[in-house]
Structure 1
Amino acid sequence: MAFENLRKYWPTYSFAQPFHAMMLLAAIVASFLFFPGQGTGDEKGSGGTLVKFLHLFCVSAHFGTQVWVTFVAGLTMFHNLPRHTFGHIQGHLFPKYFTMGSVLGLVAMVTYMYEYRHGNLTTHQQVEFGILVAVFVSALLNAAVVGPISLDIMNQQYAIEKEHGHGHEVGTHPAGKIQQDQKYQNVRKRFFKYHGISSLVNMVALVGNGVHVYYLASQMAGI
């Protein structure tokens, strides 16, 4: 149930997305050749440039996706698409969004652990590791539990709305006789409950990544 929608994902074209991926990989390889940094991490206490790159890439990719989905894509679709169309699109996007966040969060957490595998962590490093754990757990919770439940309840709500001839409204909930339908009101309350939980859990991951990005910035010697 949690990941069934992922089977439907495939690049839109057989050339465009793979080509972008190949160019990105080539650019990364070229960067390692021209800017070798610390190499593979022979220095004690350092995971080297590769581990640092993986960590920074995963944190920034996750954080950037969160900002886009939360503040741009979702609001744009909500204010311009019929409610049911918006909901069904979100129903296909969110499983991928949460799953990708779980994977990126896991890699960020593991690479951080690997980077500081030698010696004891300072208080600040312990806090940052706790934040990364919270980010990973939050994304995983949404991917495996809260998200699928919210999607199932949303489909129940939409089914009732269709029976009453609703679903074409943009940005607002239907009014009229449907508001007297007790079954609809119960389903709607459950949806708001789980949608609120999902939003709160997503906020934890968003804030956690924001704090960690600031922490990484504070560790930079320069730009």
Structure 2
Amino acid sequence: MCARSLADIDSSNTETNDLINRKPKRPNVKLLKKNFAQCTEDMCVEVKNKDMKIQPDLLAITVMKYRKMVNTLTKIMGRFEEMKTYRVVFEMTQPAHLVTILAVSVIAMITYPQGGDAANPDVIKISPLISLIYLSSFMMHFGFQVWMTFVSGLSLYFNVSRHTFGEVQKVLFPRYFSVNSFLSLVTLVIFVKYHPIHVWNSCIGLQVMAMSVCFLLELVIRLYLAPPLVQLTVVKNAIEAEAGVGMEVGKYKPGSLVKCPHYVKIHCTFRRVHMAVAIGNLLTMACTTLHLHYLSQKISIV
């Protein structure tokens, strides 16, 4: 009985050792590829025989409709840009001066005393709709600033090539400052409407000044700095593309262009304009942060 058991144990140990020492069988890669290709071909034939089609979902339909609308608006805008009036208004510096003068005049008019008595201030009823517009404009303005400065810009710079980053910023910069200047103007107008000058104190006066500076800075950047920055980006990228540089990610390597005086001059001008835009953007963020602090003291969440 014991001998048989020992024999069985020896035989089982031998089989176990054989299983452990046995090399795993390598799969036949060619055969797997052939079977996969055959299965794919059979599925395609089956789909073709059944006349099956991929039906677009709601998201795809919405995107197609939106793209169609954008293409239509782009064609209309293209026709408008071909008009002589458009070239006179938008391709010359005098209209930018006119817009700046109008913006300063608007701020002067909305802050000009409209009557009233500081001792007996008028009771101003705040409309819920106006409050919603005011909070929405400020919220979107501050959100755009944070996203563009700390999320979108840095994420793209450290994850895509420098030329790709430039192409994206070339499209976003004018729209960013156009939308922000409009939103800051809306915030300023509504705030001054419900805070007439005869009820101002040092705190409210500081808020009006900060929002006015924010609006004027964003407008000046949009009118005077964004267009040359876009043009410099186009010229700079074209020169770098011819020299075979500009595809590095998260760093600047001009290569042989560092010895080209023409390119160095364009690059230095680009850096100065870009630095001015960046400083202006940070100043506007400081103004909106100041107003955010003011609102946090006025709004209770409990």
Q: TM-score, normalised by structure 2?
A: 0.59
Is residue 78 of structure 1 aligned with residue 129 of structure 2? no
- Indicate conservation of the 8 Å contact 1:82/1:171, yes or no: yes
Match of 1:50 in 2: 129
How do 1:34-183 residues align onto structure 2 when only pairs under 5 Å count?
44-117=123-196, 119-183=198-262
Report the identity percentage. Answer: 27
Higher relative contact order (CA 8 A, sep 6+): 1
- Deviates most, 61-70 or 133-142: 133-142
- Bigger Rg, structure 1 or 2: 2
Aligned partner (choices 280, 298, 301) of residue 201 of structure 1: 280
Q: Is the 8 A contact 1:95 1:143 kept in 2?
A: yes
Greater Cα shift, 136-145 or 125-134: 136-145
Structure 1 CA distance, aligned partners of 2:229 and 2:125? Answer: 42
Q: Is the 8 A contact 2:137 2:183 kept in 1?
A: yes
Give the count of matched residue pairs: 188
Secondary structure of 1:221's counterpart equals coil
Structure 1 pair 46–200 and aligned structure 2 pair: CA distance change class (3 A): farther
User: CA distance change for structure 1 residues 50 and 117 in 2, over 3 Å: closer, same or farther?
Assistant: farther
CA RMSD of aligned residues (A): 2.0
Take 2:64 and 2:289, find their aligned partners in 1: how far apart are those partners?
Answer: 34
In 2, the alpha carbon distance for the partners of 1:13 and 1:147 equals 31
CA shift, 1:52, in A, is 2.1
Q: Is the 8 A contact 2:138 2:183 kept in 1?
A: yes
For residue 167 of structure 1, report the CA deviation from its aligned partner: 2.1
Change (3 A) 1:215 1:97: same
Instruction: Give deviations 1:49-71, integer Å, cap 9, x for gaps.
Output: 22222221111111011101111
What TM-score do the two structures reach when normalised by structure 1?
0.78
- Quote the residue 2:106 is aligned against: none
- Displacement, 1:160? 1.4
Unaligned segments of structure 1, at least 5 residues? 1-10, 19-42
